[in-house]
């Protein structure tokens, strides 16, 4: 795709300049992607596949959060579910629907594996990510230290 | 940075680098060189980041690869959002209103499209020590989308007042911030009053801090 660098051709040099600057402009950390899009890239890059991109907006038009996060057991953590293709074809995670019954089937690799190579796992547009500096931690760090509760709601 | 400023800041040097290679473009190079030099350190907006485009199509959004053909088969959000009530933050869609108005019918069950959600209408008021209006946590809007076990007991003990919640915890992605700021509406000036929705009693004013009460210089 990228034009050959040919110094004799002014137009090419200009286009190159533009492409380089556009490339910088839309670099992942500065991306404009839809709020709540998740890039999942625990393993994909290493296996030579583009990272998977999961669009929340698209799925929440069709399903309530409960379907995925209660019934199908997706944890609230980007990359935290350790999704693999072996699990997907066994009907877990994305495979609970992308099976040719509820949604198109898994052979459409590039529909999910559509991320820019090298993009790390992240949640696009999160408030945390958009803060200029890390959020202020209160002096009382009881809760930020992560108080945990057991099944009976007693502090552990 | 607005789109033009940002574009100029990044594109101009590259363009100039490009044009410097050209013998036949001295006018451009000379014109730019004579512009007054305001240092980058004194740029008007040092930290403000504005979205250049709202709800861009996948192939322009910076995380999907436009070189991947299937990227162009994905739906652009704007197409799906046509006719839905809008907001100025997050997806720029008022998901609660869209659902209430019957403009969306997301399934509560993976397969059965007729199963109804288990909605509970219970508001929990959380008085706020600061000047902000008190927080009302509405179970109704939440149980339209979520199941009790999504929040209880991992995120919140189901008992009024039993959970210590602060704005900093929320901004760090804990408590309400597990979802708000990730998928549900984010934390930003225009959204504060969605949570801080109950006016303070008449005549309320914030308590003075100890440092003011004991100020030796006053």
Q: List, for residues B28-69, the tens digit of each pLDDT value.
A: 444 455 778 889 999 999 999 888 899 999 999 999 999 999
CATH number, residue A48: 3.90.10.10
Nearest CA distance, B48 vs chain A (angstrom) = 9
Tell me how many domains chain A contains.
Answer: 1
Task: Give the nearest chain B residue to A98 (CA atoms).
Answer: B110
pLDDT at A12 over 60: no
Nearest CA distance, B206 vs chain A (angstrom) = 19
Q: In what order do the strands lie in the sheet with A52-55?
A: A52-55, A37-40, A122-123
SS3 A149: strand
**Is the residue at A12 inside a domain?**
no
ipTM value greater than 0.85: no
User: What average pLDDT is seen over chain A?
Assistant: 79
User: What average pLDDT is seen over chain B?
Assistant: 87
pLDDT at B3 over 80: no
pLDDT at B135 over 70: yes
Among residues A65, A76, A59, A101, which one has the least CA distance to residue B117? Answer: A65
User: Distance between CA B64 and CA B57 in Å, rounded?
Assistant: 9
Residue of A11, A15, A21, A74 to mutate for B, most B C-beta atoms under 10 A: A21
> What would the mean pLDDT of A5-26 be, rounded to a whole number?
38
**Is the residue at A121 inside a domain?**
yes
- Weakest mean pLDDT among A42-46, A66-70, B13-17, B97-101: B13-17
- Decide which of 3.40.1280.10, 3.40.50.720, 3.20.20.70, 3.90.10.10 is the CATH code for B87-200: 3.90.10.10
Q: What percent of chain A is modeled with pLDDT above 70?
A: 69
**Is the residue at A50 inside a domain?**
yes
* A87 touches A93 (CB < 8 A): yes
* A53 touches A115 (CB < 8 A): yes
**Is the residue at A136 inside a domain?**
no
Domain boundaries of chain B, sorted by first residue:
57-84, 87-200
Residues of the domain holding A88: 38-130
Task: Show which of residues 46-75 on chain B sit within 8 Å of chain A, judged by CB atoms.
Answer: 47, 49, 51-53, 55-56, 58, 60-65, 67-71, 73-75
Q: For strand B196-198 and strand A37-40, is the pairing parallel, antiparallel, or unpaired?
A: unpaired
**Is the residue at A112 inside a domain?**
yes
């Amino acid at each position: 795709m990228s034009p050959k660098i040919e110094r004799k051709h002014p137009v090419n040099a200009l286009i190159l300049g533009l492409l380089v600057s556009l490339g910088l402009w839309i670099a992942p950390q500065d991306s404009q992607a839809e709020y709540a899009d998740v890039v999942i890239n625990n393993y994909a890059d290493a296996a030579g596949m583009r990272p998977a991109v999961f669009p929340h907006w698209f799925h929440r038009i069709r399903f309530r959060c409960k379907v995925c996060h209660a019934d199908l057991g997706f944890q609230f953590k980007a990359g935290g579910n350790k999704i693999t293709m072996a699990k997907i074809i066994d009907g877990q995670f994305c495979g609970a629907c992308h099976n040719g019954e509820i949604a198109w089937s898994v052979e459409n690799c590039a529909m999910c594996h559509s991320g820019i190579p090298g993009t790390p796992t992240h949640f696009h547009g999160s408030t945390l990510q958009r803060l200029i500096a890390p959020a202020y931690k209160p002096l009382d760090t009881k809760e930020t230290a992560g108080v945990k509760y057991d099944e009976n709601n007693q502090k552990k | 940075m607005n789109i033009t400023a940002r574009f100029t800041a990044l594109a101009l040097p590259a363009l100039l680098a490009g044009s410097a290679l050209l013998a036949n473009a001295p006018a451009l190079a000379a014109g730019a060189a004579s512009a007054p030099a305001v240092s980058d350190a004194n740029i008007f907006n040092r930290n403000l980041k504005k979205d250049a485009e709202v709800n861009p199509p996948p192939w322009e959004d910076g995380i999907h690869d436009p070189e991947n053909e299937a990227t162009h088969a994905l739906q652009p959000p704007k197409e799906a959002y046509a006719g839905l009530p809008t907001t100025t933050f997050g997806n720029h869609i008022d998901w609660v209103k869209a659902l209430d108005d019957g403009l969306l019918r997301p399934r509560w069950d993976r397969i059965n499209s007729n199963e109804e959600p288990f909605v509970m209408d219970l508001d929990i008021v959380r008085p706020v020590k600061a000047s902000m209006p008190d927080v009302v946590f509405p179970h109704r809007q939440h149980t339209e989308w979520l199941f009790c076990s999504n929040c209880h007991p991992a995120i919140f003990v189901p008992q009024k007042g039993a959970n210590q919640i602060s704005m900093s915890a929320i901004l760090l992605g804990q408590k309400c911030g597990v979802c708000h700021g990730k998928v549900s509406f984010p934390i930003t000036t225009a959204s504060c009053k969605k949570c801080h929705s109950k006016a303070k009693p008449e005549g309320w004013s914030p308590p003075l801090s100890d440092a003011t009460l004991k100020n030796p210089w006053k």
